[in-house]
Amino acid sequence: MYEGAVQDLIDELGRLPGVGPKSAQRIAFHLLQADEADVSRLARALTEVKARVRFCSVCGNVAESDVCRICADPRRDATSICVVEEPKDVVAIERTREFRGRYHVLGGAISPIDGVGPSDLRVTELMQRLASGEVTEVIIATDPNLEGEATATYLARLLKDMGLRVTRLASGLPVGGDLEYADEVTLGRAFEGRRLIDA
């Protein structure tokens, strides 16, 4: 409906995840009226990300060199590996400052409905890392949903007889939430995982 370049931009923006035709139009007009400098900064950021960012050859996290910052950091505990689905999960866990080990990014979760099986994930790479014998604990931190649980179960079975401590992140009530608003599965898990209070 628009003339050449505007329509091209709307089309390209509309291909991004979570950007519908209306948002694409809105963003395009915003950019049309924005400073030239802002728009070229965005264009440059796009080009740069493809040119500079790759995936860590060890853990699969995003990296700007062959190995990511975390894998390259000698202060991180090499005996503990936290297995996550995506690089953004690494960021979420790093924010907690609770974990000082290393990560392994699977690149997704097992989902038969989407045709994603174990061979589509970085499972072989995980097994290779564990083969060195340095690692003693594997923390499975896949998402607490159907696919994440299926992946956790699959991995737990695979790692069962390797003499490792295999753990899963606790399920329970979110901190700061209201008990009455918790769904029954979460509340059930919170009961199941209840802990003695030290008093």
- Direct distance between the N- and C-terminal alpha carbons of the chain, in angstroms, rounded to an integer: 69
Report in angstroms how near the CB of residue 73 gets to a second copy at its nearest.
Answer: 12
Cα 154 from Cα 108, distance rounded (Å): 13
Check residue 95 for interaction with a second copy (CB under 8 A). yes
**What are all long-range contacts of 87-90, with beta carbons under 8 Å and residues at least 24 apart?**
87/60, 87/61, 87/62, 89/141, 89/143, 90/61
How far apart are the C-alpha atoms of 164 and 116, rounded to whole Å? Answer: 26
Q: Which residues in 40-71 are b (16+ Cβ under 10 Å) and which e? A: eeeeeeeeeeeeeeebbebbbbbbeeeebebb
How many Å apart are CA 18 and CA 11, to the nearest integer? Answer: 14
The verdict on 83 binding a second copy (CB under 8 A) reads no
Position 15 contacts a second copy (CB under 8 A): yes
* Residues that contact a second copy, how many (by CB under 8 A): 53
Q: Identify which of residues 101 and 159 has a Cβ nearer to a second copy in the complex.
A: 101
Figure out which of the listed residues 58, 82, 87, 154 binds a second copy, where binding follows CB under 8 A.
Answer: 87
3-state class (DSSP) for residue 140: strand
Nearest CB to a second copy, comparing residues 26 and 76: 26
Which residue in 68, 82, 83, 141 binds a second copy (CB under 8 A)?
Answer: 68
By the rule CB under 8 A, 46 interacts with a second copy: yes
Q: Does 97 participate in binding a second copy (rule CB under 8 A)? A: no
Contact window for a second copy (CB under 8 A) among 32-40, 130-138, 146-154, 162-170: 32-40
Our finding on whether 187 is near a second copy (CB under 8 A) is no
Task: Please identify, among the stretches 60-68, 74-82, 160-168, 169-177, the one whose residues bind a second copy according to the rule CB under 8 A.
Answer: 60-68
Least distance between a second copy and beta carbon 167 (Å) = 24
Q: How many CB atoms lie within 10 A of CB 38?
A: 11
The verdict on 72 binding a second copy (CB under 8 A) reads no
Q: Do residues 79 and 138 touch, judged by C-beta distance below 8 A? A: no
Question: Which residues make up the interface to a second copy (CB under 8 A)?
Answer: 1-6, 8-9, 11-13, 15-19, 23, 25-32, 36, 38-53, 62-64, 68-69, 86-88, 91, 94-95
